[in-house]
Amino acid sequence: MGKQRTNITIDADLLAYAREKGLNVSAITEEALRAARREAWAQENAAAIDSLNAWVEQNGLPLAKYQVLKV
């Protein structure tokens, strides 16, 4: 997926600091948005993940008997 230009409003002092330090505001913003998306996904799927983990703890891994390397 390509990049798209957008406008955002940032505190002037923070923007001046970012420029002074040579920080890439676009890259920082993208990473913050990716982190927010990961966190939202984890929260939205927490119940399913907990349920699966509980099932595995109770029943073991479904194909464990076929596991070649035992850890």
Q: Is residue 6 part of a domain?
A: no
How many independent structural domains does the chain possess?
1
Is the pLDDT reported for residue 37 higher than 80? yes
**Secondary structure of the chain as H, E, C letters:** CCCCCCCCCCCHHHHHHHHHHCCCHHHHHHHHHHHHHHHHHHHHCHHHHHHHHHHHHHHCCCCHHHCCCCC
pLDDT interval class at 30 (50, 70, 90): very high
Percent residues over pLDDT 90 in the chain: 83
Domain span at residue 23? 12-59
Q: Is residue 33 part of a domain?
A: yes
Q: What's this model's pTM, rounded to 2 decimal places?
A: 0.73
